[in-house]
Amino acid sequence: MDLLLDPNIWIAFAMLTALEIVLGIDNIIFISILVGRLPPEMRDKARRLGLGFAMLSRLALLFALSWVIGLTADLFSFAGQGISGRDLVLLLGGLFLLYKATHEIFLEVEAREQPHAPVADAAAIKAAGAKLFWAVIAQIAVIDIVFSLDSVITAVGMVDEISVMVAAVVTSVGVMLVAAKPIGEFVDRHPSVKVLALAFLVMIGMALTAEAFDQAVPKGYIYAAMAFSLVVEALNIRARSKRRAAETGQP
């Protein structure tokens, strides 16, 4: 009860929750891109499972704080650079994100022009959909661990109470769960926004890879670039909508 009545605890909870939501933006973008590859009836389930994995991975790492802190110790040296467990996770995660984002950009930009395969029967389509569903969930689970690692290390640096960390993580994932569907639908409706979101993932993958070699890129720069690009794209979308309305004679 004393913990609940302490205003410092509530301030720490609010700040940590806000930070967790901001740090989860890249996770939402990644999930939205992958889920967009699924049939519409599978997308909501995939979003819930993906964000559920995100919450579980964060909570698991929080309850293994000693192990997480131990990841910062150097395991070996390469070219005079100390490499820790955290560096390896960030490096592999960054490379995976770079590969996945560039592959998705190729599919979005180039594969649309390729002829479609012959239509299969309903059973084959259902089996292919189920296989793709679990492949998407596996990819989300992998990248969740990478994003969760930095999120948990940030939480440890801000707050001492494990209960506050847990509450902030659960609350932030709840907010992301509400926001994930409209964000995903918006990205699906606007192909140019989808390519822009994939470009963000390339940038985040490069930042993770650089951070693995102790070349930290301030997250503020990344988020500022994302915000500026989104404002420009919003203006483009508005301009296109007005042109279409003028061509069709609609108000």
Q: What is the pLDDT of residues 29-48, one digit of tens each?
A: 888 888 887 888 888 888 88
Give which of 178, 151, 156, 173 is closest to 12, Cα–Cα: 156
Q: What was the pLDDT predicted at 189?
A: 79
Sign of CA dihedral 212, 213, 218, 221: negative
Q: What was the pLDDT predicted at 249?
A: 66
Summarised one tens digit per residue, pLDDT across range 184-213 is 888 777 777 878 888 888 888 888 888 888
User: Is the residue at 96 inside a domain?
Assistant: yes
Q: Beta strand pairing status for 74-78 and 81-84?
A: antiparallel
Range of the domain at 204: 2-217
Could you tell me what percent of the chain has a pLDDT over 90? 0
User: Strand (E) positions, the chain?
Assistant: 74-78, 81-84
Instruction: Please report which confidence band the pLDDT of residue 113 belongs to, taking 50, 70 and 90 as the band edges.
Output: low
Residue 49: pLDDT over 80:
yes
Q: What was the pLDDT predicted at 120?
A: 47
> Could you tell me which residue, 250 or 232, shows the higher pLDDT?
232
Per-residue DSSP letter, 114? S
User: Is the residue at 240 inside a domain?
Assistant: no
Amino acid at 162: I
Instruction: Please report which confidence band the pLDDT of residue 122 belongs to, taking 50, 70 and 90 as the band edges.
Output: low
Residue 112: pLDDT over 60:
no
Contact in structure between 35 and 47 (CB atoms under 8 Å) = yes
User: Is the residue at 104 inside a domain?
Assistant: yes
Reading the block at residue 84, the tokens are 């820790």
Q: What was the pLDDT predicted at 67?
A: 67
User: Is the residue at 89 inside a domain?
Assistant: yes
Q: Rounded CA gap, 181 and 32, in Å?
A: 8
User: Is the residue at 58 inside a domain?
Assistant: yes
User: Is the residue at 17 inside a domain?
Assistant: yes
Question: Structurally, how many domains does the chain consist of?
Answer: 1
Q: What was the pLDDT predicted at 65?
A: 64
Q: What is the mean pLDDT of the chain?
A: 77
Residue 158: pLDDT over 70:
no
Predicted TM-score of the model (pTM): 0.69
Summarised one tens digit per residue, pLDDT across range 81-95 is 777 877 887 788 888
Q: Of the spans 60-69, 95-104, 120-129, which averages the highest pLDDT?
A: 95-104
> Could you tell me which residue, 135 or 3, shows the higher pLDDT?
135
User: Is the residue at 236 inside a domain?
Assistant: no
Q: What was the pLDDT predicted at 119?
A: 47
Q: What was the pLDDT predicted at 111?
A: 61
User: Is the residue at 71 inside a domain?
Assistant: yes
